[in-house]
């Protein structure tokens, strides 16, 4: 192993060597630069590997042949080695990225780059306080030099502002250093840490050193200068500024904090969280891509500072957590800055140009996911561990603030991603193969570190999960035709079902069938798509992978990771819809919000453990159990779109593609239901402030069922109608679950199965109609019964099943349902849920009437039947519904006896195909017989009565002379339920929507107002900096005294 000092020597030596080359040989100079950076990176990486694998011990490097503190010494341990690797690699890759501009400016610029990377490495390794100052000044000067690489003339002003601020910082730092030296008689960091903090003077000195270094981290709000640099500098340099400089400065703060002692840690943590929240909040109002990245950098570094503030508390896991966050930040941020170099214009929506190159879109998604802390990236593990530590410490409010800020950050980033995917850009891409290759290398590094972090996690290594790998396999396979990929995908799902189904309890088995086999069936509809259909299969399979893993998960960690997979996968899937951008954003925001609630719940329940088996939820101490219950229930209810948390659903489901709507409605919603099943099964009834939480759930379920149905009735858009209907149906299921008795659970399970079947069917049917008529608005349709008979049949069967009239399985659900609610003594919600039934008839009636009955529109006369592949799954479902109606025992009986083991009762008595309960008997075969007889009788009767009725031609109508104001108002389907609207319209008042948009407006308003702080005046920035120092000083002195 070579001495790590070679990193410094190589950087400096090469920088000096450049001056000896001939003036004209810029290429040789560039090769020298890159060569030196490669040597530096190699040394750093080899030390990282050796230290990580335990082949060597951390090394102390003495200089000048004297021992510290008399001479400067440096150290390379695992943290130092890893950080210098980050720094040097970023430098190397960025050097390639900036090749053209470096050659343009010549070797002086290259020398500056080399010195910057050298100084960053030195700052990381040195153990001497004053030496740190020297390296910091080198970094400042080199930064001011490299800002000039930018062709943006405004960069000049940014560089000057940076210098002004740096002057103030170095004054503070020098004063702090000399008084620290005076108090301790040493400049060596390890020496000083051994001496406990001395008198007031010494602690003040320490404060100055600490605050000066923290200011280098660009804490909010004393950071306007840094944002200006991010906005105007060369993207290749910004990558260094964010990833490398940020990492090095963080480590410097860490060293000094270790020296300052635990009293100061709280202060650092406080500054960290304020910065994390402030930066992410302000990012909400940002439309400039690089400035947004700047805010995000500031926020991430604030977050890591928060973690550093907790270093003592985290113990061994500190490096794992801080490192996970840091490495994710570094790779993702550098990658995004590099990508921004390929986008010509600077508005967020200009990233739409990325679509010219699918690889870049994938890279963009990878970096965004990495930054947001989604699995399987290191930040995911880090967040998991960190939140668990916070929960163990009882730092609940901090945890809440942290999670809310993380949610805002995710919203900002996904909003951006949505724009890139859905907007159009007036500029083409600035394609650069080097740039693309560099971004690809960054993504490869992302995967490598994910593997490492997974391995170290002590949990499952998420990146080696077969379903995930299977989903990712479709990225390279995307060049194949869609049909081939579809075959593969279906085969994969069936295979996964076959290998995981053994050993599951009946409840999980049912959900596995719905989620995995159901997915395979719905994918049949995807055969309809032609061409390649790029970017469909990876998200779809990611979602199914998440669901498959969710059902089979055993620990809270696995459960949460699966939850995130399915959330992200479905987000990408929903985003594919034509007008889905805002809806996909609200979907991901709510979903991640729910996911964070789950995370918090799991963390509190874990009670200090890194993870725990899901079944141990039942053993959570009663002191915290109600809170855990509330958090987990909130997470799951977000997914089932309970009233109040539902506003994402209608848009997301309605705007998704034809074959995606059934997936996200028929299948995805069941994930929330599954969660509630597990939750209630393990935790049972909980009381908070004397309120039985299951009763709250009963109410929520009943309200969702009723209001969802009412809203559904008033929709003009057929898919929105179905979407609101899903809210209502999920309400029934929640209601049933919350009853906490055998019949209630059976009801919920029936709804899970039935809702999957008929909602998938109806969405496919309506989707098929939309494919042919190119509209979802029902008043533009009518009379399609003769043109689309199969679709009509499936809608007919679907609504019969759903409305719960005999003979189809919906009736079975209803029957159990009536039995179930009879067994409860909650009268009011019971009435609500009863009333939801008739309202359900209203919208279902409308669905079939306005689409298929009545008059055919002139422009739709040539409409054909829906495509075969969209019809096929519908017909399968029709077949299933019919047979399930006759033989409900197929599935139900097994589940019934399983639920019996949970509750220890058998309210249903099965004799053959006949079921008996306390309140009555259900004999499906007999019912079929009766219904068939009645139907035939009535049918014959009708034919006989109408045998001589006059046939009227379709367009045999006499119009009056009036010309309608709006053509659609003449259609009978327009405002179909006007009278009902008069009566129940008040329910339509968008209370939840206004609430959430109020929250959103308030946040945006705050952001827009606060960012006016950044006036752009360098002097003002310096004043703010001083103000920050004084404020922190007053707070610290108040806190310490």
Partner 1 sequence: MTLVQISLATGFALIFLGLYGALSNRNILRMIVSFTIASTGVNLVLVAVGYLPGREAPILDTIPVASAAERITDPVPQALVLTAIVIGLGVTALMLAYAYRLFRARGSLDISDFTELKW
Partner 2 sequence: MTTRMAIPLVLVALLGTVFFALFSSYTPDASLNLTASYYADQTVPETGAQNIVTAIIVTYRGLDTLGEVTVLFLTAAIVGLVLSQSKAPSAHAGAGGLPSGELLQTGARMLVPVILLFGAYVFINGHLTPGGGFQGGAIVASAMLLMLLADPAERFSHGLISKIESSAGLTYVILGLLGLLFAGGFLDNKILPLGTFGSIFSAGAIPLIYVLVGLKVGAEFSSILTSLEETEDAE
Distance (Å) of CA 356 to CA 362, 426, 429, 601, 906 = 12, 12, 7, 42, 61
Q: Is the dihedral of CA 304, 309, 314, 315 positive or negative?
A: positive
Residue from the set 15, 465, 641, 746 that interacts with partner 2 by CB under 8 A: 15
Tokens encoding 271: 């500054």
Residue 305 touches partner 2, criterion: CB under 8 A? no
Residue 924 touches partner 2, criterion: CB under 8 A? no
Binding residues for partner 1 restricted to 987-1016, rule: CB under 8 A: 1011-1012, 1014-1016
Residues 686 and 625: beta-carbon distance below 8 Å: yes
Alpha helices in 185-288 (DSSP H): 189-194, 200-215, 224-232, 235-239, 246-260, 265-283
Q: Which does 794 bind (CB under 5 to 8 A by kind): partner 2, partner 1, none?
A: none
Tokens encoding 990: 């968008």
Residue from the set 46, 63, 170, 357 that interacts with partner 2 by CB under 8 A: 63
Residue 695 touches partner 1, criterion: CB under 8 A? no
Residue 158 touches partner 1, criterion: CB under 8 A? yes
Q: 67 or 154, CB closer to partner 1?
A: 154
Cβ partners under 8 Å of residue 315, min gap 6: none
The span from the CA of 970 to the CA of 86, in Å, is 67
The secondary structure element, H or E, covering residue 691 is strand 691-692
Binding residues for partner 1 restricted to 137-156, rule: CB under 8 A: 137, 140-141, 144-145, 153-154, 156
Pairing of strands 921-922, 914-916: antiparallel
Residue from the set 30, 42, 47, 135 that interacts with partner 2 by CB under 8 A: 135
Residue 105 touches partner 1, criterion: CB under 8 A? no
Q: 22 or 1012, CB closer to partner 1?
A: 1012
Question: Phi and psi of 709, rounded to 5°?
Answer: -65, -45
Tokens encoding 900: 């019996």
Binding residues for partner 1 restricted to 167-226, rule: CB under 8 A: 167-168, 170-171, 174-175, 177-179, 181-182, 187, 224
The span from the CA of 631 to the CA of 647, in Å, is 19
Binding residues for partner 2 restricted to 74-113, rule: CB under 8 A: 105-106, 108-109, 111-112
Residue from the set 164, 359, 793, 887 that interacts with partner 1 by CB under 8 A: 164
The span from the CA of 259 to the CA of 271, in Å, is 18
Residues 39 and 6: beta-carbon distance below 8 Å: yes
Distance (Å) of CA 822 to CA 825, 828, 839, 919 = 8, 12, 20, 8
The span from the CA of 139 to the CA of 974, in Å, is 68
Q: Which does 154 bind (CB under 5 to 8 A by kind): partner 2, partner 1, none?
A: partner 1
Judged by CB under 8 A, the stretch of 498-506, 575-583, 950-958, 1020-1028 that binds partner 1 is 1020-1028
Residue from the set 159, 375, 701, 812 that interacts with partner 1 by CB under 8 A: 159
Q: Which does 231 bind (CB under 5 to 8 A by kind): partner 2, partner 1, none?
A: partner 1
Judged by CB under 8 A, the stretch of 157-165, 392-400, 437-445, 953-961 that binds partner 1 is 157-165
Q: Which does 1016 bind (CB under 5 to 8 A by kind): partner 1, partner 2, none?
A: partner 1
Binding residues for partner 2 restricted to 204-233, rule: CB under 8 A: 204-205, 208
Residue with token string 């042919």: 772
Residue 236 touches partner 2, criterion: CB under 8 A? no
Q: 160 or 903, CB closer to partner 1?
A: 160
- State the nearest-atom distance from the C-beta of 136 to partner 1, in Å: 10
| Closest of 215, 178, 249 to residue 1031, by C-alpha | 215
Residue 688 touches partner 1, criterion: CB under 8 A? no
- State the nearest-atom distance from the C-beta of 442 to partner 1, in Å: 27
Tokens encoding 714: 């008033």
Residue with token string 């270093």: 311
Binding residues for partner 1 restricted to 268-287, rule: CB under 8 A: 285
Distance (Å) of CA 563 to CA 560, 680, 697 = 5, 18, 22
- State the nearest-atom distance from the C-beta of 145 to partner 1, in Å: 8
Residues 469 and 376: beta-carbon distance below 8 Å: no
Q: 180 or 661, CB closer to partner 2?
A: 180
Residue 174 touches partner 2, criterion: CB under 8 A? no
Instruction: Count CA within 13 A, CB hemisphere, residue 217.
Output: 34
The span from the CA of 76 to the CA of 51, in Å, is 9
Residue 252 touches partner 2, criterion: CB under 8 A? no
Q: How many residues in the shown chain lie near partner 2 by CB under 8 A?
A: 62
Please tell me whether residue 950 adopts helix, strand or coil conformation.
coil
Q: 345 or 992, CB closer to partner 1?
A: 345
Tokens encoding 675: 């969660």
How many other CB atoms are found less than 10 A from the CB of residue 221?
Answer: 21
Tokens encoding 791: 């679709």
Please tell me whether residue 247 adopts helix, strand or coil conformation.
helix
Q: 56 or 1010, CB closer to partner 1?
A: 1010
Q: Which does 1009 bind (CB under 5 to 8 A by kind): partner 1, partner 2, none?
A: none
Binding residues for partner 2 restricted to 137-156, rule: CB under 8 A: 137-138, 141-142, 144-145, 148
Residue 180 touches partner 2, criterion: CB under 8 A? no
Tokens encoding 46: 């080899």
Inter-axis angle of helices 265-283 and 991-1010, nearest 10 = 110
The secondary structure element, H or E, covering residue 67 is none
Q: Give the footprint of partner 1 on this chain (CB under 8 A).
A: 130, 134, 137, 140-141, 144-145, 153-154, 156-161, 163-164, 166-168, 170-171, 174-175, 177-179, 181-182, 187, 224, 227-228, 231-232, 285, 1011-1012, 1014-1019, 1022-1023, 1026
Q: Give the footprint of partner 2 on this chain (CB under 8 A).
A: 3, 5, 9, 12-13, 15-20, 23, 61-66, 69-72, 105-106, 108-109, 111-112, 115, 119, 122, 126, 128, 130-131, 134-135, 137-138, 141-142, 144-145, 148, 175, 179, 182, 185-187, 199-201, 204-205, 208, 1023, 1026-1027, 1029-1030, 1033
């Amino acid at each position: 192993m070579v001495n790590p000092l070679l990193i410094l020597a190589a950087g400096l030596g090469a920088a000096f060597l450049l001056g000896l080359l001939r003036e004209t040989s810029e290429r040789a100079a560039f090769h020298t630069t890159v060569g030196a950076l490669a040597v530096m990176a190699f040394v750093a990486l080899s030390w990282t590997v050796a230290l990580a694998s335990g082949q060597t011990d951390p090394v102390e490097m003495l200089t000048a042949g004297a021992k510290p503190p008399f001479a400067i010494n440096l150290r390379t341990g695992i943290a130092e080695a890893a950080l210098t690797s980050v720094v040097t690699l970023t430098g190397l890759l960025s050097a390639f990225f900036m090749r053209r501009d470096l050659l343009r400016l010549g070797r002086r610029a290259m020398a500056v780059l080399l010195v910057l990377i050298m100084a960053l490495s030195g700052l990381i390794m040195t153990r001497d306080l004053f030496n740190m100052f020297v390296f910091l000044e080198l970094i400042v000067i080199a930064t001011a030099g490299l800002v000039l690489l930018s062709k943006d003339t405004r960069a000049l002003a940014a560089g000057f502002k940076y210098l002004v601020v740096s002057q103030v910082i170095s004054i503070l730092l020098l004063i702090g250093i000399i008084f620290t030296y005076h108090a301790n008689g040493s400049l060596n960091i390890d020496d000083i840490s051994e001496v406990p903090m001395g008198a007031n003077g010494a602690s003040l000195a320490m404060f100055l050193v600490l605050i000066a270094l923290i200011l280098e981290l660009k804490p909010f709000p004393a950071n306007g200068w840094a944002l200006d640099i991010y906005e105007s500098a060369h993207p290749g340099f910004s990558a260094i500024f964010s990833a490398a400089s940020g990492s090095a400065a963080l480590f410097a703060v860490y060293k000094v904090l270790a020296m300052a002692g635990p009293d100061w840690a709280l202060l650092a943590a406080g500054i960290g969280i304020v910065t994390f929240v402030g930066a992410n909040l302000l990012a909400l109002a940002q439309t400039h891509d690089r400035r947004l990245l700047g805010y995000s950098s500031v926020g991430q570094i604030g977050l890591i500072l928060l973690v550093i503030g907790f270093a003592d508390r985290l113990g061994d896991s500190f490096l794992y957590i801080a490192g996970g966050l840091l490495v994710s930040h570094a790779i993702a941020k550098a990658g995004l800055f590099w990508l921004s170099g390929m986008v010509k214009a600077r508005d967020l929506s200009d990233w739409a140009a990325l679509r010219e190159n699918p690889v870049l879109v994938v890279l963009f998604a990878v970096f965004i996911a990495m930054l947001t802390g989604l699995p399987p990236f290191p930040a995911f593990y880090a967040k998991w561990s960190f939140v668990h530590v916070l929960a163990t410490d009882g730092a609940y409010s901090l945890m809440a603030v942290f999670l809310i800020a993380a949610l805002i950050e995710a919203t900002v980033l996904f909003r951006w991603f949505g724009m890139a995917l859905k907007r159009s850009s007036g500029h083409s891409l600035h394609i650069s193969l080097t740039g693309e290759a560099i971004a690809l290398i960054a993504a490869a590094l992302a995967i490598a570190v994910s593997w490492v972090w997974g391995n170290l996690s002590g949990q499952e290594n998420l990146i080696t999960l077969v379903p995930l790998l299977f989903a990712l396999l479709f990225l390279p396979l995307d060049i194949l035709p869609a049909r081939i990929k579809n075959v593969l995908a279906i085969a994969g799902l069936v295979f996964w079902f076959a290998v995981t189904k053994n050993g599951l309890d009946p409840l999980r088995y049912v959900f596995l069938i719905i989620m995995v086999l159901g997915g395979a069936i719905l994918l049949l509809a995807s055969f309809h798509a032609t061409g390649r259909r790029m970017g469909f299969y990876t998200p779809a399979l990611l979602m199914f992978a998440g669901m498959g893993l969710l059902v089979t998960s055993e620990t809270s960690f696995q459960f949460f990771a699966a939850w995130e997979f399915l959330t992200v996968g479905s987000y990408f899937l929903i985003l594919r819809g034509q007008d889905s951008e805002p809806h996909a954003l609200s979907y991901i925001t709510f979903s991640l919000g729910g996911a964070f609630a789950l995370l918090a719940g799991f963390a509190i329940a874990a009670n200090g453990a890194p993870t725990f088996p899901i079944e141990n939820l039942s053993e959570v101490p009663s002191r915290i159990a109600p809170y855990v219950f509330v958090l987990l229930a909130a997470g799951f209810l977000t997914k089932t779109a309970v009233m109040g948390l539902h506003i994402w659903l209608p848009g997301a489901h309605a705007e998704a593609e034809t074959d995606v709507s059934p997936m996200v409605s028929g299948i995805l919603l069941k994930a929330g239901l599954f969660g509630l099943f597990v939750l209630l099964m393990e935790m049972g009834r909980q009381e908070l402030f004397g309120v039985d939480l299951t009763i709250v759930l009963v109410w929520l379920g009943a309200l969702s069922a009723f209001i969802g149905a009412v809203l559904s009735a008033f929709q003009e858009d057929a898919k929105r109608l179905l979407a609101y209907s899903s809210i209502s149906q999920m309400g029934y299921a929640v209601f049933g679950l919350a009853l906490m008795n055998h019949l209630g659970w059976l009801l919920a399970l029936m709804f899970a199965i039935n809702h999957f079947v008929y909602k998938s069917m109806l969405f496919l049917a309506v989707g098929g109609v939309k494919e042919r008529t190119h509209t979802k608005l029902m008043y533009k349709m009518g009379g399609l019964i003769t043109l689309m008979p199969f679709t009509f049949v499936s809608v007919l069967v679907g609504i019969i099943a759903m409305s719960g009239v005999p003979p189809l399985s919906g009736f079975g659900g209803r029957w159990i349902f009536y039995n179930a609610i009879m067994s409860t003594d909650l009268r009011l919600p019971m009435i609500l849920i009863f009333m939801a039934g008739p309202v359900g008839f209203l919208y279902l009636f409308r669905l079939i009437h306005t689409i298929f009955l009545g008059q055919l529109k002139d422009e739709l006369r040539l409409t054909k039947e829906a495509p075969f592949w969209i019809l096929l799954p519908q017909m399968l479902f029709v077949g299933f519904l019919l047979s399930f109606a006759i033989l409900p025992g197929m599935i139900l009986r097994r589940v019934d006896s399983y639920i019996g083991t949970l509750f220890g009762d058998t309210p249903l008595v099965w004799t053959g195909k006949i079921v008996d309960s306390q309140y009555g008997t259900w004999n499906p075969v007999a019912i079929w017989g009766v219904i068939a007889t009645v139907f035939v009788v009535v049918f014959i009767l009708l034919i006989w009565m109408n045998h001589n009725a006059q046939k009227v031609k379709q367009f045999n109508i006499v119009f009056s002379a009036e010309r309608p104001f709006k053509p659609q108002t003449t259609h009978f389907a327009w405002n179909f339920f006007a009278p009902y609207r008069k009566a129940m319209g008040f329910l339509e008042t968008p209370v939840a929507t206004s609430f959430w948009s109020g929250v959103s407006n308030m946040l945006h308003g705050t952001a827009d107002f606060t960012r006016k702080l950044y006036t752009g005046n360098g002097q003002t920035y310096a004043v703010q900096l001083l103000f920050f120092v004084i404020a922190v000083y007053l707070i610290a002195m108040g806190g310490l005294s």
